[in-house]
Amino acid sequence: MKPEHQIIDLAKVKVSCTNCSLTELCLPRGMGEDAVRKLEKIIKRASPLQKGEYLYRGGDPFNGIYAVRSGLIKVYANSDGGEEQIIGFYLPGEILGLDAIENNTHACFAVALETSSYCTIPFADLSGICKVVPELQDQLFKIMSRELTNENQMLLTLGKKNAEEKVATFLLTISNRYRQRGYSANDFKLIMSRQEIGNYLGVTFETVSRIFSRFQRDGIISVHKKYVNILDMDALKKLVSGCCG
């Protein structure tokens, strides 16, 4: 019943974009070979973050954007009142830090939820970089545009869905993103805690726990602590599209 842990453990270090298994998901997606080779020269690879270590914090100067290479990175914003809102969980191949371009300062916090490696795309001289790698410009526009689309979806989830639909949406989104990365869409480990899932979805962790239990009782999923097995994908999909779907 328990899925093998290594299916989502990507801690292997890749040396170049060309050889990286993420190339079709990450920044180089759709770029020509020449462009990717030029990109490789710009990108910096840092030593991995340990669980709990920060990639950046609110107030930090903006030095570049980041691509997750392995692991999982949580990004959250702080309200004036000190409350945290998790903005997203970033999987390998996903880009974070884009929201700091305008102010040259990070407003959010990015922290590793497990050992995570990443690449840095220095942004100090972006105009220069995009001149050297013209395809990078369009690529960045597309990545930022996709991020906006994702956030629009999240606004809809937070604004219009009930707790059950939120949790179902969350599970489906995670499942799809794992599938894109070549992992099982039905069997995975939730690295984040119930508390963090609830925070992200605008519900309490008790509610998340209860809905997981309810889904299990109804044969939609099976849950053992952090391991989730989706048993009835169609039922989940029906839940997210609301009553009329």
Partner DNA sequence: ATCCTTCTTTGATCCAGATCAATAATGTCA
Partner DNA sequence: TGACATTATTGATCTGGATCAAAGAAGGAT
Query: Are the C-beta atoms of residues 228 and 184 closer than 8 Å to each other?
Result: no
Question: Restricting to residues 174-233, which ones interact with a copy of itself according to CB under 8 A?
Answer: 199-202
Taking CA atoms, 9 is separated from 57, 116, 178, 213, 239, in Å, by 25, 10, 12, 26, 30
Of the pair 224, 237, the CB lying nearest a copy of itself is at: 237
Span from 49-57, 175-183, 217-225, 234-242 in contact with a copy of itself (CB under 8 A): 234-242
Among 226, 232, 237, 241, which residue interacts with DNA (rule: CB under 7 A)? 226
Question: Restricting to residues 55-94, which ones interact with a copy of itself according to CB under 8 A?
Answer: 77, 79-83, 85, 87
Taking CA atoms, 158 is separated from 62, 151, 154, 198, in Å, by 29, 10, 6, 11
Under rule CB under 7 A, residue 4 binds DNA = no
Query: Are the C-beta atoms of residues 95 and 67 closer than 8 Å to each other?
Result: yes
Of the pair 18, 153, the CB lying nearest a copy of itself is at: 153
What does the DSSP 8-state code read for residue 115? Answer: S
Question: Restricting to residues 134-163, which ones interact with DNA according to CB under 7 A?
Answer: 162-163
Backbone angles phi, psi at 132, to 5 degrees: -70, -40
Instruction: Please compute, for residue 56, the number of CA atoms within 13 A of its CA located in the half-sphere on the CB side.
Output: 23
Under rule CB under 8 A, residue 99 binds a copy of itself = yes
Q: What DSSP string describes 164-185?
A: HHHHHHHHHHHHHHHHHTTS-S
Under rule CB under 8 A, residue 108 binds a copy of itself = yes
Q: Where do contacts with DNA occur on this chain (CB under 7 A)?
A: 162-164, 193-195, 202-210, 212-213, 223, 225-226
Q: Where do contacts with a copy of itself occur on this chain (CB under 8 A)?
A: 77, 79-83, 85, 87, 98-103, 107-108, 126-127, 130, 134, 137-138, 140-149, 151-156, 158-161, 199-202, 240-245
